[in-house]
Structure 1
Amino acid sequence: MIKRSVIVSVVALVVIQFFHPAKNENGVMTDKDITRAYHVPDDVRKVLRRACYDCHSNSTVYPWYSKIQPVDWWLNDHVKEGKRHLNFSEFDTYSVKRKAKKLTEVAGTITDNEMPLSSYTVVHKDAILTDAEKTLVVNWARGLAAQVADTVKKL
């Protein structure tokens, strides 16, 4: 009975290797990207790309283990969830009110050490933000949120 269960499990693991979700690898930066729609200083842009864009843009850089199922499905769900909350590649499609809210949330999640997720930084050590990087991104996000909110007030 155990032998049969092991065989069935191995066969199932082999079969699922042939089924992969579509990759989040657009690679084309459109005018809707936050870095095209708003001023993003180079140092902030580098931090966003290194620590945020894999889950919060249309351009994920996949690690080698993403080719293994069921890890690929888990990563795909994780990226979809991240983009559902915030997608820097589509940022300029958001309403002005939503943009201000999302930027405020960026500052809050970084301040509260909620982002980047620890499950991500365990493998992506370069995504761990220094205190200086946190301050840099938080100050930029708060400043841009205020600028965007002023636009709402003028409307």
Structure 2
Amino acid sequence: MKTKITLNLLFLGLFTLSAAASDTEKSTYYSPAQMSEEVKAVVQNKCFGCHNTDSKNDKAKEDLDFKTFDTLTNLKKVSAYKKIGDVLNENEMPPKKFLDHYPDKKLTDAEKKLLMDWAKTEAEKLVKGM
């Protein structure tokens, strides 16, 4: 009986630690299944610093928060994907003022195209599913 209780407590503890670890991982980086490794790399290296819940840039995280993106309704996701495409197409992201301080965050033409194509494809999938 003691062995059974001990094993149950051990499994409960391991389950709790495992859940806590996965929650921590989820909250540090946006990585939905629909994002290719290439897109994830660009988002992580060029966008995530400002566009996440923990950012000090309130406007950026209010406009787009990659940590909470999956919690949006499909309609809001479609809108967000459209906005991503629009600001990239209009060369508004990253902002010039930001790039003056962090020139390494400038998107290459290939990275911009990759993000725009990703946003368009994901928006189209969601619209078809509505």
Q: TM-score range by the shorter chain?
A: 0.7 to 0.9
Q: Which has the higher contact order (CA 8 A, sep 6+)?
A: 1
The residue that corresponds to 1:146 in the other structure is 124
Alignment of 1:107-122 (within 5 A): 107-122=85-100
Could you tell me how far apart the structure 2 residues matched to 1:129 and 1:149 are? 27
Could you tell me how far apart the structure 1 residues matched to 2:104 and 2:68 are? 24
RMSD of aligned C-alpha atoms?
Answer: 2.0
Identical amino acids, percent of aligned pairs: 25
Alignment of 1:3-152 (within 5 A): 28-30=24-26, 34-36=30-32, 38-60=33-55, 76=56, 79-152=57-130
Tell me how far 1:59 sits from its aligned partner.
Answer: 4.9
The residue that corresponds to 2:12 in the other structure is none
Q: 1:96-155 CA deviation, whole Å, 9 max, x = no partner? A: 100011011101100110011111111212210111111111001100111112222xxx
For the 8 Å contact 1:100–1:145, the answer to whether it is kept is yes
> Unaligned 5+ residue runs, structure 1?
1-27, 61-75
The residue that corresponds to 1:19 in the other structure is none
For the 8 Å contact 1:29–1:89, the answer to whether it is kept is no
Paired residues, number: 107
Query: Which of structure 1's runs of 4+ aligned residues deviate more than 2 A?
Result: 28-31
Q: 1:6-48 CA deviation, whole Å, 9 max, x = no partner? A: xxxxxxxxxxxxxxxxxxxxxx3428x6523x32111111111
**Which amino acid letter does the alignment assign opposite residue 52 of structure 1?**
C
